[in-house]
Chains A and B, each alone.
Chain A
Amino acid sequence: MARVIFRWTVLTVMGVFFLLPLIAMVEFSTRDPETWPLLLDWPRLAEEYPALAEGILASLAQAALTSVLMLVLLVPTAIWVRLRLPRLRRVVEFLCLLPLTIPAIVLVVGLAPVYAWVNYLIGGSSLTLVFAYTILVLPYAYRAIDTGLSAIDVRTLAEAARSLGAGWTTVIWRVVLPNIRSAVLSAAFLTVALVLGEFTIASLLHRTNLQVAIEFLGKSSATVSVAVSLTALLLAFALLLVLSLAGSSSKERRS
């Protein structure tokens, strides 16, 4: 009995603490009744807050391109290393997990000179952030894909396909990839959620994205920026929640 009381006391107090900011955001963003209709009206939003519209579009493009670049770079390499170069696996793993121990603010200090070259070679578009973001999501994406590859017998699949005359491209693209579809999907989801929330690198390399636009807008129109924050937040919540629920149900199936 004492346990049940303890459990519900803790859960209630924590629930209030975690829900209060979300409720406050709803309340704050509805103080001006114009705010939410404005957000749903894209042409008007783009006209009244061009910087915000630009940031939203930039973030969506960054999220999509980072997912693509991450998959193109990581999936074939991870499969290839498992099949042909097992000794390199430790190195690849180390490099992929390295960004976890380097704070983004530190990475930005080192990226600044690299980006001076990027500016010089391909210009200062906000899409160039995709390179840095791919590094940033590497640990999460690698762990997702590596888990997926560990769950199947890559070697036997590859040997079966090879013995039937398939080339390496066919092995990777048509045999292994369909078997790790859910791992690839969760890596892409994580990437989108992380990129939509990124601020440090964009802001310090003087490029725009959603978070930079929200921060900039906060100085002039707090209500709109809180409303956009809430929308971005709910979107990321939905993405990650789908991911974690899908993850826990697939784990159950395996066990």
Chain B
Amino acid sequence: MAEVAEAVPRRVAGRSRPRAGALLGTVPFFAFVTIFLVIPTLTVVIGAFTGAGGRGFTPANVRALTDEYILAAFGRSITLSAASAIIGAVLGALLAYALVTAKPDGPLRRVVTAAAGVLAQFGGVTLAFAFLATIGLSGFVTLWLQEHGLDPYANGVWLFELPGLTLVYTYFQIPLMVIVFLPALDGIRPQWREATASLGGNTWHYWTRVAGPLLAPAFLGSALLLFANAFSAYATAAALVSQGSPIVPLQIRGALTSEVVLGQANLGKAMALGMVVVVAVVMTLYALLQRRTAKWLG
């Protein structure tokens, strides 16, 4: 539709006034975006290479990223994101497949996709409290399990550490996977299965030789998107973890809130730049895989 509109030769619109006048109309938008998006982004990039007191170029902040505790935080962030992305991708793909086998316009599929759209947005403080009410120390499930002689926290409370965060993150990762993976599954044509059968292949051959390789790029791409999603998340972890800063976003919180005392502001910027680099690498890979997916399943 957009292409059609574009292809119409420019008649009245476009030549009635000089371009400079037309540009004026976009000034409010560009001014606002410059102040509240471009300048903050540049602040992070430039600040990461600026010494304490705002003077001079120094690689010190970025070099400080290799400090043991920061590397460990990046390691834990990546572990958490990878674990929740893999679990979310596998379970989400199963759920998406269950939906594909149902009627395409049936109520089941419509309700589940609508719910997934809502739940994928669900995060932050309210999600943390939802899980505190469920498996917190006095949560609904915890008490129920204890009544039946099972204590989920017999070996220590894991809810406020990486395993707990992984579980909580899964809650928004699975729905996101359903949303991004469903179109790829829809692209699979029943004829391919028939073609496999007519060549003498069974279900195993179909999944390992035909559907599997075709879906692999879409699956990997979706998993990468999930990784970036978990890696950027802050609010849920901030509400759950009040002691210590196991992951990078919480380390940045530490650097931001203690900047007056320790002059760590620019270290915070360096960590923020590190996060941007990780997200950028992941999203580039995602875009590449997306292009490959479009070849067959577009």
| Residue pair B134, A10 in contact (C-beta under 8 Å) | no
**Bound-complex Cα distance A73 to B151 (A):** 54
Interface assignment of B272: CB less than 8 Å from any CB of chain A: yes
Interface assignment of B25: CB less than 8 Å from any CB of chain A: yes
Bin the interface of chain B by size: 35 or more
CB < 8 Å neighbour of A21 from B110, B114, B117, B171:
B171
Interface assignment of A68: CB less than 8 Å from any CB of chain B: no
**Bound-complex Cα distance A113 to B42 (A):** 11
CB < 8 Å neighbour of A245 from B22, B29, B42, B114:
B114
Interface residues of A in 76-127 (CB under 8 A from B): 76-77, 80-86, 88, 92, 95, 98-99, 101-114
Interface-central residue, B35, B36, B132, by most chain A CB under 10 Å: B36
Q: Mark A21-46, 1 if CB is under 8 A from B, else 0.
A: 11111011100000000000000000
| Residue pair B43, A134 in contact (C-beta under 8 Å) | no
| Residue pair B43, A102 in contact (C-beta under 8 Å) | no
Given contacts A20-B134, A114-B36, A131-B36, contact A214 B129 (CB under 8 A): yes
| Residue pair B29, A107 in contact (C-beta under 8 Å) | no
A38 to chain B, nearest CB (A): 17
B251 to chain A, nearest CB (A): 10
Given contacts A27-B133, A162-B13, contact A240 B117 (CB under 8 A): yes
Given contacts A105-B249, A218-B239, contact A225 B129 (CB under 8 A): yes
Interface-central residue, A27, A86, A105, A156, by most chain B CB under 10 Å: A105
Interface residues of A in 161-185 (CB under 8 A from B): 162-163
| Residue pair A240, B118 in contact (C-beta under 8 Å) | yes
A114 to chain B, nearest CB (A): 6
Interface assignment of B40: CB less than 8 Å from any CB of chain A: yes
| Residue pair B36, A109 in contact (C-beta under 8 Å) | no
Interface assignment of A71: CB less than 8 Å from any CB of chain B: no
CB < 8 Å neighbour of B91 from A14, A106, A154, A156:
A14
B28 to chain A, nearest CB (A): 6
Interface residues of B in 146-179 (CB under 8 A from A): 171, 174
Interface residues of B in 227-277 (CB under 8 A from A): 231-235, 238-239, 249, 252-253, 256-257, 268-269, 272, 275-276
| Residue pair B121, A197 in contact (C-beta under 8 Å) | yes
Interface of chain B, helix or strand or loop or mixed? helix
CB < 8 Å neighbour of A14 from B14, B122, B140, B174:
B174
The residue in chain A whose Cβ has the minimal distance to the Cβ of B33 is A95
B residues within 8 A CB of A150?
1-2, 5
Interface assignment of A63: CB less than 8 Å from any CB of chain B: no
B residues within 8 A CB of A17?
171
Given contacts A24-B130, A197-B124, contact A244 B114 (CB under 8 A): yes
The residue in chain A whose Cβ has the minimal distance to the Cβ of B101 is A3
**Bound-complex Cα distance A226 to B130 (A):** 7
**Bound-complex Cα distance A203 to B269 (A):** 18
| Residue pair B279, A103 in contact (C-beta under 8 Å) | yes
| Residue pair B13, A199 in contact (C-beta under 8 Å) | no
Interface assignment of B68: CB less than 8 Å from any CB of chain A: no
**Bound-complex Cα distance A197 to B239 (A):** 13
**Bound-complex Cα distance A92 to B226 (A):** 26
The residue in chain A whose Cβ has the minimal distance to the Cβ of B3 is A150
**Bound-complex Cα distance A20 to B171 (A):** 11
B residues within 8 A CB of A11?
95, 98, 108, 112
Residues of A within 8 A of B (CB): 3, 6-7, 10-11, 14, 17-18, 20-25, 27-29, 73-74, 76-77, 80-86, 88, 92, 95, 98-99, 101-114, 131-132, 134-135, 138, 150-151, 153-156, 158-159, 162-163, 193-194, 197-200, 203-204, 211, 214-215, 218, 222, 225-226, 229-230, 232-233, 236-237, 240-241, 244-245, 248
In the A-B complex, list the 8 residue pairs whose CB atoms are closest, starting with the nearest: A110-B40, A103-B232, A24-B140, A28-B133, A24-B134, A199-B235, A77-B29, A21-B130
